[in-house]
Amino acid sequence: MDYVIEMLNIRKEFPGIVANDDVTLQVGKGEIHALLGENGAGKSTLMNVLFGLYKPEKGSIKVHGKEVNIEDPNVANRLGIGMVHQHFMLVDTFTVTENIVLGSEPSKAGTVDIKAAEKEVQALSEKYGLNVDATAKIRDISVGMQQRVEILKTLYRGAEILILDEPTAVLTPQEIKELTQIMRDLVKEGKSIILITHKLKEIMQICDKCTIIRKGKGIGTVDVSETNPTELASLMVGREVTFKTDKTPASPGETALNVKNLKVKDFRGVEMVKGLNLDVRKGEIVGVAGVDGNGQVELVEALTGLKKSSSGEISLNNRSIYNLEPRKVTESGVAHIPQDRHKHGLLLDFPIGENLVMQNYYMEPNSKRGVLNFKKIYEKARSLIEEYDVRTPNAYTQARSLSGGNQQKAIIAREVDRSPDLLIAAQPTRGLDVGAIEFIHSKLIEERDKGRAVLLVSFELDEIMNVSDRIAVMFDGQIIAEVKPEETDEQELGLLMAGRKSEKRGEA
């Protein structure tokens, strides 16, 4: 077999961590090759090595069988390697074409003929079915189209090998289908694609080969036609996994959370929540579905007191919690599993035991007249560690040194243990392995069954469909539809998430 790319026995270290440890990746021409691993496994690092952003400590790279030294991204481009990063690198106020020619080596005496470039970009877009308007400004086009601009940018530079870093994470199901078709067209034209993902379904649907990295180590490469999701999952996490969420129907009680006409601005002062209405009753899980960037982050921040709203009402059990300080919101009965566990979830340099009492360290019995009672704190911590199966050497271990899944279990232990009236879970399983995901889902359901109101905000449709009793679709700062999981499907949800009213229902 002739390989277009070979990364052999790559090792890449960062201070205190080996991000890639003896990883080998061999990609054939015309192949869609998945790079699979949990969050933090080292996928992006490996691709940044290939793209010349990092220099490996060990190992070698061959392009078309010839050993190369990829010193920087310009060298990578010349070798025909293009990369679409997880976070796009486009200038908002520039046009598509301006972004594409930006930084590529100009032809005649340092100038670029924009009109000619526009034509070329438009032609490339048509050739690969990218459906991009070469003259549009980036700020006016959808996230999906921005991603296609990034793909065009690599093609314009002559890429033969395209690296796509978790491209589907920001897309709706329909956009994912479109991207799938684009990838198929690209390989038909002889391009090769390295697709980074942790979604097994995607791999099964579109990839030819799959290379697995687990905790930085290269585990191996499998033929997708000879494997299945269960095997891929266990290769990824290193043990057996099952995929099911056991759940009985909900029996919702009175309204717990009531949000009326809520408006919230983001850090730039742009209104992101635009008159939102939402109810969550006791004993039900309401899932907020939506594509990233439609105001979900601002909604959760407003509900938890992390951000002031500009107008509207928020009440919990008929008492206003609108614009209260975070601690007051907490004391009113709201618990929060935050999207960013590092920024809002844990004090990473503190022992896990102290993190477990972060919300109520100032209350009895953890503290009396302002004096902390460490004996009580650690007694409590140890029982939570046990109950929630937080894998840590002991309660004194720094939170930082726990794995993502165990950090998340610790946050959940802390938040759920306070017996909140309302539990807000924002992306609670993002980047976690399947085992931790199962555990967290079962905890959310358990809380629901104790009569608590649960608000789940997630970009993962599978999660929304499996866990929610009711789905609220968020688009452009509003809840534009409510559906029952058993009465909808990914197709309909995807359309709603893209802001289109459901055809099936006539109106949402």
Ligand X SMILES: Nc1ncnc2c1ncn2[C@@H]1O[C@H](COP(=O)(O)OP(=O)(O)O)[C@@H](O)[C@H]1O
347 contact partners, CB below 8 Å, separation of at least 6: 354, 355, 358, 399
Assign 25 to helix, strand or coil: strand
- Is 484 buried (19+), middle (13-18) or exposed (0-12) by CB count in 10 A? exposed
**Nearest approach, Cβ of 366 to Mg ion (angstroms)?**
38
Burial bucket for residue 115 (CB in 10 Å: 0-12, 13-18, 19+) = exposed
| Stretch touching ligand X by CB under 6 A, among 14-22, 72-80, 89-97, 275-283 | 14-22
Q: Which is nearer to ligand X, 48 or 458 (CB)?
A: 48
Of 43, 51, 50, 55, nearest to 19 (Cα)? 43
Stretch of residues binding ligand X (CB under 6 A), selected from 11-19, 239-247, 270-278, 481-489: 11-19
Shortest separation between residue 213's beta carbon and ligand X, angstroms: 7
Cα distance between residue 80 and residue 70, in whole Å: 11
Name residues contacting ligand X, limited to 25-64 (CB under 6 A). 37, 39-45
40 binds, among Mg ion, ligand X, none (CB under 5 to 8 A by kind): ligand X
Examine residue 297 and tell whether it contacts ligand X (CB under 6 A). Answer: no
For the CB of residue 156, give the shortest distance to ligand X in the complex, in Å.
26
Our CB check for ligand X shows the closer of 76 and 496 to be 76
Rule CB under 5 A: is residue 44 a binding residue for Mg ion?
Answer: yes
Q: Find out whether 299 and 264 touch, Cβ atoms under 8 Å.
A: yes
Shortest distance (Å) from residue 361 CB to ligand X: 28
Work out what residue 19 binds among ligand X, Mg ion, none; the CB cut-off runs from 5 to 8 Å by kind: ligand X
Closest distance between Mg ion and the C-beta of residue 466, in Å?
24
479 contributes a contact to ligand X by CB under 6 A? no
The entry of ligand X, Mg ion, none near residue 17 (CB within 5 to 8 angstroms by kind) is ligand X
Q: Is 172 helix (H, G, I), strand (E, B) or coil?
A: coil
From the list ligand X, Mg ion, none, pick the one residue 326 interacts with, judged by a Cβ distance below 5 to 8 Å according to partner type. none
Q: Which of 211, 157, 261 is nearest to 36 (CA)?
A: 211
CB of 58 to ligand X, least distance (A): 16
Question: What separation in angstroms does the CA of 26 have from each of 5, 34, 40, 180?
Answer: 6, 11, 21, 22
- Residue of 19, 49, 179, 425 interacting with ligand X (CB under 6 A): 19
CB 232 within 8 A of CB 198: no
Tell me whether residue 167 or residue 173 sits nearer to Mg ion (CB atom).
Answer: 167
Query: Of the two residues 179 and 498, which places its CB atom closer to Mg ion in the complex?
Result: 179
Q: Which residues pair with 192 in a beta bridge?
A: 161
When CB distances are held under 5 to 8 angstroms depending on the partner's kind, the choice from ligand X, Mg ion, none that residue 14 binds is: ligand X
Q: Residue 506: left (phi > 0), alpha (psi -120 to 50), or beta?
A: left
Q: Tokens in use for 486?
A: 């058993």
Interface residues with Mg ion (CB under 5 A)?
44
Interface residues with ligand X (CB under 6 A)?
14, 17, 19, 37, 39-45
